[in-house]
Amino acid sequence: MQTQTADRLRPFGTTIFAEMTKLALDHEAVNLSQGFPDFDGPGFVREAAKAAVDAGRNQYARPAGEVPLVEAIAADVRARLGVGYKPLTEITVTSGCTEAIPATMLGLINPGDEVVLFEPYYDSYRASIAMAGGVPRFVAMREQDGRFTFDRDELRSAFSERTRAVLVNTPHNPTGSVLTRDELTAIADLAKAKDALVISDEVYEHLTFGAEHVSIASLPGMRERTVVLSSFGKTFSLTGWKIGWAMAPAELTAGIRSAHQFLTFAVSTPMQHAAAVAIREGGAYVAELQARYLASRDALAAELARIGFRPIVPEGTYFILAEHGAVSGRLGVEGDIELAKKLTTEIGVAAIPPSVFCDRAELMSGYLRFAFCKTPETLDEAIRRLERLA
Ligand SMILES: *Cc1c(COP(=O)(O)O)cnc(C)c1O
């Protein structure tokens, strides 16, 4: 098909998630590709949504976010991460973190500005930088001593006179690394030295397994140059509600809001009121979810290892990267894309080939990404099918 997509977006095609989900459906595969739970979110939050609808909270929301929600976010972030944001002027509610990413780029990046990006990266980062006319500069995350990290010299050389921002994601999708205070300090020092902004995607902030989540905004001198992005969907297993937010000092928030007002204007009103209830009262649920994901992580990692993969056990997120050399060798396929297709169509398990999240595909072509935000039954069925590879 000859598409008529504009030049700025043509390189990105359809997302890998749509492609793998379709392949998974066509072949009735167990879908460990896209990162959404196959179980429902907490009952008290769903009840709060129904109550908000019945209470008539059904017209346009306050564009920057309903007051109870921005107040709940501000209180939670102050208590947990030690950073203070004024709810009315420094927090903007967006249609999932997915909207917060382009709103931040369009609102703060000028054409020709460079944005430093760690690869593998969340796929919408690159497209959002392109929409703003920005230029990506890449830094690799590579496996070292059982986890993924970056080389500090490579990071330093990714900065130039044109650097406007560095985009950080911790806990990191897809590698599962929770960046340490020391790693974040290295990034922060460069950002300060080069007078760059930091855009920090922290949607998995609650999904850590012992490692401490540190927001780079909490490091000395960083609040004033950082935009923190987060989301309600991953934390409360309600990804379809699409509630996210951007937090930044008022001067930066002004840019984000000037884009947000023309992208979506406002986010679903009743769902924001329910999200406020979740954030205020959700502590016990989040603790339960962490325990559940820890058990799923360990079970899936052990089984993948038994089958012949080499899983790199993640410190956070709900994804495992597994090195697949032994398995793909046995099957006579090469690279993650060919293996992901073969597993979906012939074994009946869908996973994501992470090289699609890279400028340099070779960084990730030796791995596959499995999502473990699934019921034990789904994970057991996936393992039962993958055992044919053993
Ligand atoms: C899921 C995800 C998002 C998008 O969050 P939504 O709130 O669902 O839009 C953003 N960044 C990363 C790294 C993600 O994994």
- Residue 343 has what DSSP assignment? I
- 1 — pLDDT class (breaks 50, 70, 90): low
From the number of C-beta atoms within 10 Å of its C-beta (0-12, 13-18, 19+), residue 19 rates as middle
Mutate which of 94, 179, 231, 238 for ligand 1? The one with the most ligand atoms within 8 Å of its CB, which is 231
Residue 34 has what pLDDT? Answer: 87
- Give nearest CA residue, ligand 1 atom 7: 96
Residue 324 Cα to ligand 1 middle (Å): 26
Burial class (CB in 10 A: 0-12, 13-18, 19+), 10: exposed
* Distance from Cα 202 to the centre of ligand 1, integer Å: 9
Counting from 1 in the atom list of ligand 1, the atom nearest the Cα of 99 is 9
| 232 touches 238 (CB < 8 A) | yes
- How far is ligand 1, taken at its centre, from the CA of residue 258, in Å? 21
Report the pocket of ligand 1 as residue ranges, CB < 6 Å. 96-98, 122, 169, 173, 201, 203, 231, 233, 239, 242, 244
Of 203, 318, 373, which is best to mutate to test ligand 1, by the most ligand atoms within 8 angstroms of its C-beta? 203
pLDDT digits (tens, 9 = 90+) for 151-172: 999 999 999 999 999 999 999 9
The model scores a pTM over 0.95: yes
What mean pLDDT is reported for the chain? 96
Peptide bond into 376 cis (omega under 30): no
Say how many Å lie between the CA of residue 97 and the centre of ligand 1.
Answer: 5
How many angstroms separate the CA atoms of 130 and 9, rounded? 7
CB 117 within 8 A of CB 125: yes
**Confidence bin at 16 (pLDDT 50/70/90):** confident
Residue that wins the pLDDT comparison between 27 and 390: 27
pLDDT in tens, 223-275: 999 999 999 999 999 999 999 999 999 999 999 999 999 999 999 999 999 99
